[in-house]
Chain A
């Protein structure tokens, strides 16, 4: 119902303000006595060596790409899920073709080894 969207807008503003209250209060009351040791990056007591922006595993990217594909497809399924009861068998057949493509791409990913964690 459209009348309800202002509630979400007000709630959004409230929840954006909310986390900053403790942050600012904490900033005001907390003691500040920084030293070099405290401000250094934590690495189990050793001197931090090297940068963190390094190469990391390609699997993370592969999962992310697969996620984008599947997530979009799942979102496409939602309008169908709301109305398939009224449309009946035609919607069932149309969606089963779509689901088969989804499953085929999952199997393709699987066989190609994109889901392996090496």
Chain B
């Protein structure tokens, strides 16, 4: 009986800590992005609140709490109030199956590195739930994220919000195909849907090497799935005045903002788990055996847990850096080009990647040989795609508004 009580307590503590950690991560991601973006644009960024702007997120939160809560007259009240919550819930739920470290509370660090098939009961407190269909769960939850945005646009009863919402749903479903096909190839390499086992399969080689093409496709379609620059047409300020959240203010707006950034961390974490070896790094097992030899099994297990969490954090921050870098570097794409890219480039390439992976894995059973072959094939495919895409004439704009080329006055010859 006591055992069950302890289990439930551990579960509750884990859940509360995870939710708090995610919201703290969100708060500091906003600061990270603003500081980094500022540096890239030769500015300083927020640095007044606390040392180095460290308290800026808290100041923002306080400001947003005390903003007036305006509900426009024409909105569909129930859906309008529910939509921000609907955006945040899936963003949080993604985190249930992501392993962000490996700390075995039984004090056996080797269980983290052992084959999950022979060692099914790993008590890893750095992963909330290791379910057998983890990757499928991730895809399912990321795809219901579209409801919050679409319903917000629909319920606002404002033309800008409506356009933003429709654009969002079309964009998200288009890129979800490319995303799930890219993930499919990684699943084929791993031969499992459990997130912990995916990491175990990457102990010898990270999947970013054989699945280089898949990784690039995942990052591109992941950015589109997050509606971030250069694919942020949903909230194009110049044409839609921030799109689906135009009618939202105060805490309701903050929740949309929060869902976007939590999803950003989550997509980075998924990329790390599927392609970059998750929490594992070379030397982690050695650290475990050293610490166990010096101070006993429990300390060894805790050391491995903390070190693996640190490794995971570093990898996630690197991908987040990439997202911010992309935002600072590229202008927004045109909407028809966005759709063409999703359907005519990313989806066929992802299907080609799946076919390539299947053939190589079956024909060349040795893991090292087919990994190298896939790496080379990925490079070739990307080079060909680059050459072809730079040769294809850009699709003409079909807008009914004709662009008039102004006549350039000739410079008077002296």
Residues of A within 8 A of B (CB): 1, 4-8, 10-12, 14-16, 18-20, 22-23, 25-27, 29-34, 38-44, 48, 52, 56, 59-60, 63-64, 66-67, 70-71, 74-75, 77-78, 81-85, 88-89, 92, 95-96, 99, 102-103, 106, 110, 115, 117-118
8 contacts between A and B (CB under 8 A): A11-B15, A26-B251, A26-B254, A29-B66, A39-B71, A84-B361, A106-B348, A118-B398
In the complex, whether B344 has a CB less than 8 A from a CB of chain A is: yes
Q: Are B158 and A43 in contact (CB under 8 A)?
A: yes
B181 to chain A, nearest CB (A): 6
B325 to chain A, nearest CB (A): 28
Question: Which B residues touch A103, using CB under 8 A?
Answer: 348, 351
Extra inter-chain contacts (18) besides given A1-B120, A18-B89, CB under 8 Å = A10-B15, A15-B93, A16-B89, A19-B84, A26-B64, A30-B250, A32-B68, A33-B68, A41-B158, A42-B72, A52-B158, A52-B159, A60-B166, A64-B169, A67-B176, A71-B180, A78-B136, A102-B351
Q: Are A74 and B362 in contact (CB under 8 A)?
A: no
Q: Which of B70, B95, B129, B180 interacts with A4 by CB under 8 Å?
A: B129
Q: For the side of the interface on B, what is the size category?
A: 35 or more
In the complex, A75→B177 CA distance in Å?
10
In the complex, whether B188 has a CB less than 8 A from a CB of chain A is: yes
Q: Hey, what's the 0/1 contact readout for B349-367 against A, CB within 8 Å counting as 1? A: 0010011001101100000
Closest partner residue, chain A, to B359 (CB atom): A92
In the complex, A18→B169 CA distance in Å?
25
Question: Which A residues touch B113, using CB under 8 A?
Answer: none
Question: Which B residues touch A1, using CB under 8 A?
Answer: 120-121, 130-132
In the complex, A8→B15 CA distance in Å?
9
Q: Which of B19, B95, B170 interacts with A60 by CB under 8 Å?
A: B170
In the complex, whether B85 has a CB less than 8 A from a CB of chain A is: yes
Q: Are B67 and A30 in contact (CB under 8 A)?
A: yes
Closest partner residue, chain B, to A22 (CB atom): B251
In the complex, whether B128 has a CB less than 8 A from a CB of chain A is: yes
Question: Which B residues touch A18, using CB under 8 A?
Answer: 19, 23, 88-89, 92
In the complex, whether B414 has a CB less than 8 A from a CB of chain A is: no
B331 to chain A, nearest CB (A): 19
A98 to chain B, nearest CB (A): 11
In the complex, A8→B191 CA distance in Å?
23
In the complex, A27→B65 CA distance in Å?
8
Question: Which B residues touch A70, using CB under 8 A?
Answer: 177, 347
Residues of B within 8 A of A (CB): 11-12, 14-16, 18-19, 23, 64-74, 81, 84-85, 88-89, 92-93, 95-97, 120-121, 128-132, 136, 156-160, 162, 166, 169-170, 173-174, 176-177, 180-181, 184-185, 187-188, 191-193, 241, 246-247, 250-252, 254-255, 335-336, 339-340, 343-344, 347-348, 351, 354-355, 358-359, 361-362, 398
Question: Which A residues touch B358, using CB under 8 A?
Answer: 84, 92, 95-96
Q: Are A63 and B11 in contact (CB under 8 A)?
A: no
Closest partner residue, chain B, to A44 (CB atom): B241
Question: Which B residues touch A12, using CB under 8 A?
Answer: 93, 96
In the complex, A27→B81 CA distance in Å?
11
Closest partner residue, chain A, to B338 (CB atom): A117
In the complex, A4→B192 CA distance in Å?
17
Q: Are A115 and B343 in contact (CB under 8 A)?
A: yes
- Known A1-B132, A56-B166; contact A41-B69, beta-carbon cutoff 8 A: no
Q: Are B72 and A39 in contact (CB under 8 A)?
A: yes
Q: Are B84 and A82 in contact (CB under 8 A)?
A: no
Closest partner residue, chain A, to B91 (CB atom): A15
> Which residue, A41, A89, A92, has most C-beta atoms of chain B within 10 A?
A41
A9 to chain B, nearest CB (A): 9
A37 to chain B, nearest CB (A): 10
Question: Which A residues touch B181, using CB under 8 A?
Answer: 74
Question: Which A residues touch B88, using CB under 8 A?
Answer: 15, 18-19
Q: Are A11 and B93 in contact (CB under 8 A)?
A: yes
In the complex, A20→B247 CA distance in Å?
19
Question: Which A residues touch B188, using CB under 8 A?
Answer: 81, 84-85
